Chain A
């Protein structure tokens, strides 16, 4: 037999080499499987377990072996993290090294691994069985790596949809920041409907503003007020001219007539006194001190016209039906003096321009301004007649937590191209990522932007089963009718106070049971002449100048409607109980925070006249469970018995002297 081409020897050699190679490779396949990362880690765990546990505990411990997984059927999610994180639910491994460390905190008690797995809260690729693939850090083709640090709170928010999530501080701050900044004015954001900012209506703004101020404000609001709520829209000079003309041409409702006022008689000094007496700083900031409910008045002189201000102080609801500001009972002279004070002393650093620009008379310019007004979505915050049905101009943020980002969008930036970074950059410098963005520049600090990112990341695309979602019901808006309703509206009680969960948050005490807490006669007195119950607090009820008739109407209503029957028990003065209560009062050291008889601390309310102010049932209930009535209160819970609380109430009800009362 002739042999073609290849000699048998060379064939044999090739066969031998390939045969050995094949066996070797096949062995490699087996070894690769056998030496899988998780097997090695489980072996380490078994060694650690023998060190950490005593023989008895060891004998009770379940055997460790094989891939472990938690299957969340309703989410169609498989988490195999516990294949390596073997000590996660075992306190004996509290100080063990990773991956065996026990889970810190009490989280696993409230979020049982059987029901929540791991990645629901932490993110990462739960299906993986190697450290790298589990996306402990960013890996290609897995959208959500483990959320490190505070970012994990974004995942809390996926299920916890209510605004305030008590144990997720950063998430809650983020959501509150989103609501405060008014993001929902331009964007459709799940959970934030109705959280639009209520900026002033502008239909009559032509009467209100000084033309020079409009230009300064539009160019960059923070040039006028460093804490301006309106963001910088990065308007071009042409747009500013147009918008200015458009705004100054808006004259729907003329201000109240002030032609009879003799401005020469105005006394700014009296105005300043009145400004203090009316507690304007509760809502308005002046030179860095004061509240934030109303606009900062430090430089109001350069902003508004005198005639408009007069009209506004007389009736704020005239051109601002939704005004937060209440309607004081000032006389024309008082208003004149107040206006004089505001327009002559509160000049700020920006000098008002001497020559008003009158270009607003050009109709083309006004039309251009209207177009710019619509283009920039100004109507989102400044509700405007005829623009109620225009759509929100920003893109919907439904599912923004799953928004894919392209690395190309980060051109020129040195950050890792992730969604959190994208959102952060977008919030800080809206123009940094895409060529042109209509989103205005907010003066977010880094911290504010970061918490907003956490709030946004919690808004995911996938719908969760209802059983996984927790929400807080939206409070119904409280709108009382009749004489009481008219007064509540006039004095804008709900700008600061809450009833049934709706209203302002400046006052920390809801009015829902105020009739069971305070005595009617005290209420009548207080409404006419409000003072500070706690002297250390800056925010105080303004002095409305309410008539006695009005105060009675309000107090009657509150004493009959805003009551909690559980607080209204029978009370009989008992000298023995009063003495016991007094001893207890001294023993507990109540005086270190409360003033009684002219002596005591300034932290809590003055109790010198509590017998004329408070109702005994309330004192008793309050002392038994302060935190239950007012979460976050400074009042300690002394764990008082019912008799002790009753004795204290008896003592406090006996204090009617008002010696220490600093009624201001």
Chain B
């Protein structure tokens, strides 16, 4: 045998050890590729066309995940230049801007992706609510999702302090002061967060560790759980007209499993062509290429938009943080400005009572609204009341945030944004 051919064979065997299936050309191979890859098996091999429809999911969950990925990658790159001590932290920002190759684009992308992620996660939550996707069997995944939403806010909040400029110092001052309004625990909570009574080097280190180690680790874990539940329960869909028993019978060994597990049965019986033999899969399509292709396009679109935004708009950086110089008004990060607006009316009611009730309501939503009706469609008439209540609450939250952001000036007095 010529050496070239042997080499080709050897290379092929190396390739096969990594990509067991190779480039799939049949549906069976496609399914096998999905299952045998660590990264792809997060998907089911086949998906409902319903869940591919952009108008149903709006791709918000996927976007949130991508943004999280972008943040981890850019965040790790930024960590190479960042020193978490007060003066050096600010110097790091200047170095990123003026000296580090691609430094400013990196920082911009991290900053803007973080803001967009807060919005994406919030909208994802709204989407899930309005399509009733938190109903049985997905109640707990909603709870995990609420946890992830809060985690996203906290991740963004801890990252806000790290540039150590006036903007970050005072936003965190306002934010941590709001935490101190909680009865009994408030002051301890603030002390725990700040590592003292005022923001200082200890706070910066704490926020750095939270932002770069603890919270991302928790977030990765919770994202895993979140995806695992999605993978187990499938994407929500309108109730099928056909009853379930046939399905259970046919799927044999896994009667209780959802349809994605039909694939296991399928691999057990490789001789049977998928399309014809599995009636359950009749209206499903292969994840490869239908789902993966769409995911790739969404990823590309996101990267293009993020790059353009990061090239055009620089992340803000004000003067070096000066604890003796309070700006007026001192504002929290924008996603807490609704809360700050409430606090302005009443510290306890706005800063403690309302947020606690809202978070509790969110956590209990799937258990309070447990009737399995109106799942899988936007604004199902059966769920008119639930949607109204949620819609009004979400609108109020957005409205308060907008007011806090654009309509509040010196001494938190009302200003029209176009007069400033």
Interface set of A (CB-CB < 8 Å, partner B): 1-6, 11, 14-15, 18-19, 21-22, 25-26, 28-29, 32-33, 67, 76, 78, 80, 125, 127-130, 133, 141-143, 404, 408
A4 to B101 CA separation, bound complex (whole angstroms) = 44
The CA of A28 and the CA of B102, in the complex, are separated in Å by 11
B91 contacts the other chain (CB 8 A): yes
B234-248 CB mask vs A (1 if < 8 Å, else 0) is: 000000000000000
With A and B bound together, what is the CA distance between A142 and B52 in angstroms? Answer: 50
Residues of A within 8 A of B94 (CB): 125, 127-128
Q: How far is the CB of A31 from chain B (nearest CB, A)?
A: 10
Pair A5/B49 contact, Cβ less than 8 Å: yes
Q: Do the beta carbons of A14 and B319 come within 8 Å of each other?
A: no
Contact B311 A29 (CB under 8 A): yes
Report whether A127 and B311 are in contact in the complex, using a CB–CB cutoff of 8 Å: no
Contact with A along B88-121 (1 / 0, CB 8 A): 0001001101110110010000000000000000
- Give Cα A80 to B91, complex, Å: 13
Most buried by A among B166, B300, B317: B300
* A33-B101 contact, Cβ under 8 Å, with A2-B285, A15-B293, A19-B300: yes
CB-CB under 8 A from A33, the residues of chain B are 101-102
Chain B residues close to A by CB (< 8 Å): 49-50, 52-54, 87, 91, 94-95, 97-99, 101-102, 105, 165-166, 275, 283, 285-286, 290, 293-294, 296-297, 300-301, 303-304, 307-308, 311, 317-319, 322, 325, 410
For the complex, give the distance between the alpha carbons of A4 and B51 in Å: 10
Tell me the smallest distance from the CB of B376 to a CB of chain A, in Å: 15
> Are A11 and B285 neighbours in the complex by a CB distance under 8 Å?
no
How far is A2 from B48 in the complex, measured between Cα atoms in Å? 11
Pairwise interchain contact A28-B311, C-beta atoms closer than 8 A? yes
What is the bound-complex CA distance between A133 and B293, given in angstroms? 43
Which 6 pairs of residues, A with B, have the shortest CB-CB distance?
A4-B49, A18-B300, A25-B307, A129-B98, A127-B94, A141-B318
A284 to B105, CA, bound (A): 71
| One of B98, B322, B325 near A80 (C-beta < 8 A) | B98
B303 lies within 8 A of A22 (CB): yes
Q: Which of B105, B275, B293, B301 contacts A11 (CB 8 A)?
A: B293
Q: Which residue of A lies closest to B51 (CB)?
A: A4
Chain A residues with CB under 8 A of B95:
127
Instruction: Please determine whether B98 and A11 come into contact, CB atoms closer than 8 angstroms.
Output: no
Q: When the two chains form the complex, which single residue of A29, A127, A408 contacts B105, counting CB atoms closer than 8 Å? A: A29
Determine whether the beta carbon of B49 is less than 8 Å from that of A11: no
A444 to chain B, nearest CB (A): 29
In the complex, residue of chain B having the shortest beta-carbon distance to the beta carbon of A18? B300
CB distance from A207 to the nearest CB of B (A): 50
Which chain B residue has the least Cβ–Cβ distance from A12?
B293
B54, A22: Cβ atoms closer than 8 Å: no
Partner of B285, one of A1, A15, A76: A1
Q: List 14 A-B contacts (CB under 8 A).
A: A1-B275, A1-B285, A2-B283, A3-B285, A5-B52, A5-B54, A11-B293, A14-B301, A15-B293, A29-B102, A127-B94, A128-B94, A128-B98, A141-B318
CB distance from A260 to the nearest CB of B (A): 66
Nearest CB of chain A from residue B132's CB, rounded to whole Å: 21
A33 vs B297: C-alpha distance in the bound complex, in angstroms? 27
Give the chain B neighbours of A28 by CB distance below 8 A: 307, 311
A5 to B300, CA, bound (A): 20
Name A5's contact: one of B53, B307, B308, B410 (CB within 8 Å): B53
Q: Within the complex, what minimum Cβ distance (angstroms) separates B413 from chain A?
A: 13
- In the complex, which residues of chain A have a beta carbon less than 8 angstroms from the beta carbon of B98? 80, 127-130, 133
Q: How far is the CB of B293 from chain A (nearest CB, A)?
A: 6
Query: What does DSSP make chain B's interface, helix, strand, loop or mixed?
Result: helix
- With A1-B285, A141-B317 as given contacts, are A18 and B297 in contact (CB-CB < 8 Å)? yes
B308 touches A25 (CB 8 A): yes
Q: A1-B275, A76-B87, A127-B95 are in contact. List 12 more A-B contacts (CB 8 A).
A: A3-B285, A4-B53, A5-B53, A11-B297, A15-B297, A22-B303, A26-B307, A28-B307, A28-B311, A125-B94, A128-B98, A141-B319
Question: B307 — which chain A residues lie within 8 A by C-beta?
Answer: 22, 25-26, 28-29
Whole-angstrom distance between the alpha carbons of A18 and B304 in the complex?
7
Contact among A26, A129, A408 for B99, CB-based, below 8 A? A129
Q: CA–CA, A127 to B294, complex, Å?
A: 44
Pick the residue among B275, B290, B297, B308 that contacts A4 (CB under 8 A). Answer: B290
Give the chain B neighbours of A19 by CB distance below 8 A. 300
- Partner of A25 from the list B165, B290, B304, B325 (CB cut-off 8 Å) is B304
B308 CB, nearest partner CB in chain A, Å:
6
Cβ of B311 and Cβ of A32 under 8 Å apart? yes
Partner of B91, one of A1, A29, A127, A133: A127
Give the Cβ gap from B294 to chain A, nearest Cβ, in Å.
7
Pairwise interchain contact A22-B311, C-beta atoms closer than 8 A: no
Cβ-defined partner of A2 (8 Å) among B49, B50, B293, B301: B49
Nearest-CB residue, chain A, relative to B410: A408
Tell me the bound Cα distance from A14 to B311 in angstroms. Answer: 23
Judge whether A67 and B300 touch: CB under 8 Å: no
A471 CB → nearest B CB, Å: 27
From B286, B297, B410, residue with most partner A Cβ within 10 Å: B297
B201 vs chain A, min Cβ distance (A): 15
Question: Nearest CB to that of B307 among chain A residues?
Answer: A25
What is the distance, in angstroms, from A29's C-beta to the closest C-beta of chain B?
Answer: 6
Instruction: Name B328's closest neighbour in chain A (CB-CB).
Output: A406
B residues near A29, Cβ cutoff 8 Å: 102, 105, 307, 311
CB distance from B329 to the nearest CB of A (A): 13
A1 to B286, Cβ gap below 8 A? yes
Across the interface, which residues of A come within 8 angstroms of B318, CB to CB?
141
**Pick the contact of B304 from A4, A22, A67 — CB < 8 Å?**
A22
A404 to B301, CA, bound (A): 44
Chain B residues lying within 8 Å of A141, measured Cβ to Cβ, are 165-166, 317-319
Residue of B nearest to A26 (CB): B307
B300 touches A22 (CB 8 A): yes
Distance, CA A67 to CA B103, complexed state (A): 15
Shortest CB–CB separation between residue A463 and chain B, in angstroms? 14
A4-B285, A15-B296, A15-B297 known; A404-B49 Cβ under 8 A: no
How far apart sit A141 and B165, CA to CA, in the bound complex (Å)? 10
C-alpha gap A29/B308 in the complex (Å): 9
* Residues of B close to A80: CB separation below 8 A: 98-99
Residue of B at shortest CB range from A4?
A: B49
Shortest C-beta distance, A591 to chain B (Å), equals 66
Residue on A nearest B101 in the bound complex, by CB: A33
Q: How far is the CA of A15 from the CA of B298 in the complex (A)?
A: 9
Question: Closest CB of chain B to A360's CB: distance in Å?
Answer: 46
Q: Hey, which chain B residues are within 8 Å of A129, CB to CB?
A: 98-99
Q: How far is the CA of A80 from the CA of B95 in the complex (A)?
A: 11
> If the complex has contacts A1-B286, A4-B49, A28-B311, are A67 and B99 also in contact, measured as CB distance less than 8 A?
yes
Q: How far is the CA of A133 from the CA of B52 in the complex (A)?
A: 48
Q: A33-B102, A129-B98 known; A21 and B304 CB under 8 Å? A: yes
Q: Which of A78, A125, A408 has the most CB of B within 10 A?
A: A78
A74 to B: closest C-beta gap in Å: 14
Chain B residues with Cβ below 8 Å from A11 are 293-294, 297
CB of B394, distance to nearest CB on chain A (Å):
27
Kindly provide the distance from the CB of B312 to the nearest chain A CB, expressed in whole angstroms. Answer: 10
CB distance from A13 to the nearest CB of B (A): 10
> Hey, which chain B residues are within 8 Å of A25, CB to CB?
304, 307-308, 311
Q: Which residues of A contact B294 (CB under 8 A)?
A: 6, 11
Q: Which of A6, A125, A129, A142 has the most CB of B within 10 A?
A: A6
Instruction: Tell me, in angstroms, the Cα distance from A229 to B94 when the chains sit together.
Output: 49
Whole-angstrom CA separation of A149 from B373 in the bound complex? 77
* A14 with B297: CB separation less than 8 A: yes
A1 vs B296: C-alpha distance in the bound complex, in angstroms?
21
CA distance A133 to B98 in the complex (A): 9
In the complex, which residues of chain B have a beta carbon less than 8 angstroms from the beta carbon of A15?
Answer: 293, 296-297, 300
